[in-house]
Amino acid sequence: MARNAKPINNAAGIAAATFVVAAVLLAFVGIGLRVETFSGLGPAEWQAIRFTILQSLLSAFLSCVLAIPVARALARRRFWGRAFLITLLGAPFILPVIVAMLGLLAVFGRSGALNDILAMLGISKISIYGLQGVVLAHVFFNLPLAIRLLVHGWQGVPAERFRLSAQLGFGRGMMFRLIELPLLMRILPGAFALIFVICLTSFAVALTLGGGPRATTVELAIYQAFRFDFNLGRAALLSLVQLFVAGGAAVLAFWLVPSISFGGGMDRMQRRWDGQVRGARVLDGAFIFIAASFLTLPLLAILTSGLRGMLEVPLIVWSSAWTSLWVALISVLVLLGTALPMAGWIATSRNGSVEVIGLLGLSVSPLMIGTGWFILIYPIANPTDWALPVTIAVNALMALPFALRILVPSIRETIQTYGRLSSALGISGFAMWRCVLWPRSRPRIGFAAGLTAALSIGDLGVIALFGDPDRSTLPLQMYRLMGSYRTDAAAGAALILLVLAFGLFWIMDYWGRRNAIA
C-alpha cells in the first residue's frame, strides 16, 4: 500500500494492541508488587519444565504424523457425508477440556469401553494414565487441528498440478515427492509449532491423566506456587519460563503456520486420479474409520452418560449455563473489538510481526493474569464484582492469537485486492470496515467468533480465583457437582456444556458462511 493511500486508520489497531500488552504487563506488575523473595527453581520445577516440553513435543509430533494419512484420505476420497465428517472431526478442538476428559475416560479408561473389549479378547489392559495418557488426550484435542490444516493445504494445491501429475502418469512415489512432500514441508512445521505451544500451557489434562508428580506441567507448578505455597516469586519465575518457551515456539509457529481455516470451502472437492488402486482405497478407508472412531467415540460417550444424568441436573445448572452463555457472548464482542482493529493494523503494516503481540495470550498463564489483576483491583474495588469482567477479558485474550491467524490473511487479501478501488472511491476508515472488510471477511469473522465462544464457554478460567457464590459459570458448577458426589448430574451438566459449545460455534460459523460470496 502506498503510504498516502491507507484504507484504514491504524489508531484503533494500535490502541487494541496496547490494551493487550498492557493487560499482560499489568498482571506482571501486580505480581511484582507482591513478590517478597525470588527463590530459584528446585528439582520439582525443573522436572515440570522437562516433562512439559517432552509431552508437548510428543503430542505435537504424533498429532502431525497421524494427521498425514487421515488428511490425505479425506482430501482424495469422495463419499457420502464427507463434508459432515470433516466438520465433526473438528469438534474435539473446541470441546471443553473437562467435558472431554469424561469422554476420554469412558472410552480409554481402566473401565472404559476399549479395555472392556480388550479384556473380552483376552488382551491385557492399556493404561491411560501417565505420559501416554497426557499425550493421548492432547492428540485427541489437536489431531483435528492438524487434519484441518493439512486437508486445507491439499485443497489449496492447484487443480492443474493434479491434472499434470495424472497426465504424466506419476506413481505413488512421484506423487509424494512432487506434490505431497512440498505440501507437508509447507504446513507441518507450523502445525507442529502451534500444537506444541497449545500443549505447553495445558493444565487440566495433566492434572487428571498425569498419573503423579512425574507428569507435572509448568502450568500446574504455577498453580501450586500460587495457591498452596503462595510463593509469588516462584510463580512469577515459572510464568516467565513458560512465557519464554511458549513465546519462543509461538513466534516460530506464527512465522511458519499457515492461516487457519476450518469453515467454508471444506466441502469443495477436487477430482483426483492418484490412489485409485484397491489397496490405497482400503487403506484410506481404514485411516478415515480409525480417526473417526478415535475422535467421535468419546463424544458419543459424553452424549450417552449425559442423557442418563440429565434428569438429575439441578435447576442451578441452568442458571449457570445462562451465565456462561452471556459471558461467552460478551467475550466474543470483546474479542472482535480487539482482534478486528488489530488484524487491520497487522494486515496493512509492512511486516506482520506485530501479530506476535497476539501470541501473548497463548503463552501467558491465565492464572498469572488473574492473580496479577486481583492484586491491582483489590485496593480500588471488590474483586468478586470483577470476576466476570476479568474472566471475559482473559477469555478474549486467550482466543486472540487464533482469531488473528484467522482474520489477518482475509483482511490482507481484501485490502490488496480492493484497497486501490476503495481509495479511488474515497472509502476509508469505518466505511471501509462496514462496506468492504466486514462483508468480505464475514466467513472468517464468524469462524473466529464461534471458536472464541466455544473456548470461552468451556473455560474454567480465572473465575475460580475470584469466586462469586451467586454467579457461577457452567464449568465451575460442573466441578461443584463433582465435588458434591453428584457425578451423574455432572455428566448431565457436561452434556449441556458440550451442546452449548458446539451450538454457539455452529451458529456463528453458519452466520459467517450464510450467503457468503467466496
Residues 499-518 binding other proteins (CB under 8 A) are none
213 touches other proteins (CB under 8 A): yes
61 touches other proteins (CB under 8 A): no
CA-to-CA distance for 419 and 421, rounded, in angstroms? 6
- Cβ-based nearer residue to other proteins, 181 or 290: 181
Dig out the grid coordinates for 11 from the structure: 489508531
333 touches other proteins (CB under 8 A): yes
Residue 485 zone, left/alpha/beta (φ > 0; ψ -120 to 50; rest):
left
Candidates 18, 34, 84, 434; binder of other proteins (CB under 8 A) is: 34
Candidates 49, 105, 195, 495; binder of other proteins (CB under 8 A) is: 105
> Shortest approach of other proteins to residue 370 CB, angstroms?
11
**Binding mask 370-399 vs other proteins (x if CB under 8 A, - otherwise)?**
-x--xx--xx--x-xxxxxx--xx------
DSSP 8-class letter at 80:
T
- How far is residue 463 from each of residues 215, 355, 492, measured CA to CA in Å? 25, 28, 21
**Interacting span for other proteins (CB under 8 A) from 40-48, 54-62, 354-362, 398-406:** 40-48
Candidates 38, 117, 156, 167; binder of other proteins (CB under 8 A) is: 167
**Interacting span for other proteins (CB under 8 A) from 74-82, 210-218, 352-360, 415-423:** 210-218
Dig out the grid coordinates for 456 from the structure: 470461552
Q: Read out DSSP for 315-362?
A: HHHHHHHHHHHHHHHHHHHHHHHHHHHHHHHHHHSSSGGGGHHHHHHH
Residue matched to cell numbers 464461534: 450
Residue 10: exposed, middle, or buried by beta-carbon count in 10 A (0-12, 13-18, 19+)?
middle
**Binding mask 225-264 vs other proteins (x if CB under 8 A, - otherwise)?**
-xxxxx----------------------------------
CA-to-CA distance for 400 and 141, rounded, in angstroms? 19
Q: Read out DSSP for 234-255?
A: HHHHHHHHHHHHHHHHHHHHHH
CA-to-CA distance for 322 and 318, rounded, in angstroms? 6
- Cβ-based nearer residue to other proteins, 418 or 466: 466
CA-to-CA distance for 211 and 503, rounded, in angstroms? 33
Spatial CA neighbour of 342 closest among 328, 353, 331? 353
Give residues 275-304 in contact with other proteins (rule: CB under 8 A): none
> Shortest approach of other proteins to residue 28 CB, angstroms?
16
Residue 280: exposed, middle, or buried by beta-carbon count in 10 A (0-12, 13-18, 19+)?
middle
**Interacting span for other proteins (CB under 8 A) from 83-91, 202-210, 423-431, 447-455:** 202-210
CA-to-CA distance for 397 and 43, rounded, in angstroms? 32
> Shortest approach of other proteins to residue 211 CB, angstroms?
5
- Cβ-based nearer residue to other proteins, 44 or 282: 44
424 touches other proteins (CB under 8 A): no
Spatial CA neighbour of 497 closest among 464, 468, 467, 456? 456
Candidates 481, 495, 504, 508; binder of other proteins (CB under 8 A) is: 481
444 touches other proteins (CB under 8 A): no
> Shortest approach of other proteins to residue 447 CB, angstroms?
21
Residue matched to cell numbers 458419543: 300
352 touches other proteins (CB under 8 A): no
Dig out the grid coordinates for 371 from the structure: 492473580
79 touches other proteins (CB under 8 A): no
122 touches other proteins (CB under 8 A): no
273 touches other proteins (CB under 8 A): yes
207 touches other proteins (CB under 8 A): yes
> Shortest approach of other proteins to residue 434 CB, angstroms?
19
CA-to-CA distance for 64 and 188, rounded, in angstroms? 7
Candidates 41, 178, 251, 256; binder of other proteins (CB under 8 A) is: 178
40 touches other proteins (CB under 8 A): no
